[in-house]
Amino acid sequence: MLYQNSIYRIMGDRSLIIEFGDEISPEMNQRVMEFTHTMAANPIEGVVETIPAYRSLLIVYDPLKISFNVLKQRIDDLQKKIGEIQTPEPKIIEIPVVYGGEYGPDLEWVARYHKISTEEAISFHTAAPYRVYMIGFTPGFPYMGKLPEKLVTPRKETPRTVIPAGSVGIAQRQTGIYPSESPGGWQIIGRSPLKLFNPTQSPPTILKMGDLVRFFQIGKEEFEHWKQ
């Protein structure tokens, strides 16, 4: 549900969170994205950074340049402008994935958990595009959803200490891609050869909030070709 009045939560002495509602949905996430763009088009002196999430926006500010009360009033005023700024059309990005085996060590477990074949699990995962709800956890990590009901899967009971870059995982109703080697607790069902995060490029990520991602299956022999 979208709140009639957004909720403000103080996060330390230099940041606050604005909550726009209490559910995860494309409509709620669109409101977050619209206000993020509204703030970008109407910069507030003292605001250092804005970090959008599923249903909220974290605002980091300099308390020596603007007080919390003044910032809150400026935000209240800007919320009246939501809809005046046109948000960019979502890009549809197709991402190749090698499923199963050494690239997706949890695919067979996921299939057994749902009492389906690995081929069916792959088919469900590649069936529809996913919305990029937010970027977080590590630089460039896209949180995407929603997974079809037949693939809703719990996280691993014991997280891995190392997950290779490009690994495609699922957890609950989410799917995501690890842009760099890192620990993680998601079920790894495949791996993409694409490099999602490059700090030397601008922008450094190929995915952004609001984009649509469609996965498609490739073979092992194609992995290196795509990587190059």
The predicted-structure confidence for 145-185, as pLDDT tens digits, reads as follows 999 999 999 999 999 999 999 999 999 999 999 999 999 99
The CATH class of the 92-227 domain is mainly beta
What does the alpha-carbon distance between residue 80 and residue 76 come to, in Å, rounded to a whole number? 7
Percent of the chain with pLDDT over 90: 82
Sheet bearing 47-52, strands edge to edge: 2-10, 15-21, 56-61, 47-52
Nearest Cα to Cα of residue 106 among 154, 150, 140: 154
- Delimit the domains of the chain by residue range: 2-79, 92-227
The CATH class of the 2-79 domain is alpha beta
**Is the C-alpha dihedral spanning 32, 35, 37, 43 positive or negative?**
negative
Global pTM reads 0.90
- pLDDT tens track for 50-93: 999 999 999 999 999 999 999 999 999 999 888 887 888 889 99
- pLDDT tens track for 119-141: 999 999 999 999 999 998 889 99
Q: How many residues does the chain have?
A: 228
What is the pLDDT confidence band of residue 2, given thresholds at 50, 70 and 90? confident
Half-sphere exposure of 129 (CA within 13 A, CB side): 14
What is the pLDDT confidence band of residue 1, given thresholds at 50, 70 and 90? confident
**Average confidence score pLDDT of the chain:** 94
Alpha carbon of residue 190 to chain centroid: 18
